[in-house]
Amino acid sequence: PVWARLMPKALELATTVAMAELLESGCTTAADHHYLFPTGMDDAIDIQVEVTRKLGMRAMLTRGSMSLGEKDGGLPPQQTVQDADVILADSRRLVEAYHERGEGAQVQIGFAPCSPFSVTTELMRDSAILAEELDVRLHTHLAETLDEEEFCRERFGLRTVDYLESVGWLSDRSWLAHGVHFDTDEITRLGEAGASVAHCPTSNMRLASGIARAVELEDAGVNVGLGVDGSASNDASNLIREVRQALYIQRLRYGSEDVTCARVLDWATSGSAGALGREDIGSIEVGKQADLAMFRLDGLAFSGSHDPIPALVLCGAEKADKVMVAGQWRVLDGNAIGSSGEQLDKEALIAAHQEEARKLVAG
- pLDDT above 90 covers a percentage of the chain that reads 89
pLDDT beyond 90 at 77: no
Nearest-angstrom CA–CA distance, 144 and 63:
20
Distances (CA, A) of 124 to 60, 91, 117, 121: 19, 13, 11, 5
Task: Write out pLDDT tens, residues 144-188.
Answer: 999 988 989 999 999 999 999 999 999 999 999 999 999 999 999
pLDDT-derived band at 25, boundaries 50, 70, 90? very high
Q: Are 162 and 153 within 8 A, CB to CB?
A: no
Q: Look at the pTM and tell me if it is higher than 0.85.
A: yes
Task: Write out pLDDT tens, residues 261-270.
Answer: 999 999 999 9
Strands (E), 128-195: 138-142, 174-178
Task: Write out pLDDT tens, residues 232-254.
Answer: 899 999 999 999 999 999 999 99
Handedness of CA 153, 157, 162, 163 (dihedral sign): negative
Query: Does an H or E element contain 313, and which?
Result: helix 308-314
HSE-CB at 238 with a 13 A cutoff on CA atoms is: 15
**Domains of the chain with bracketed CATH:** 3-362 (3.20.20.140)
| Per-residue DSSP letter, 173 | T
Question: Mean of the per-residue pLDDT values for the chain?
Answer: 95
pLDDT of residue 198: 98
The mean per-residue pLDDT over the stretch 107-111 comes to 98
Distances (CA, A) of 211 to 221, 256, 257, 341: 19, 16, 18, 41
Task: Write out pLDDT tens, residues 320-337.
Answer: 999 999 999 999 999 999
pLDDT of residue 15: 97
pLDDT-derived band at 275, boundaries 50, 70, 90? very high
Nearest-angstrom CA–CA distance, 271 and 226:
8
pLDDT of residue 360: 86
Handedness of CA 195, 200, 205, 206 (dihedral sign): negative
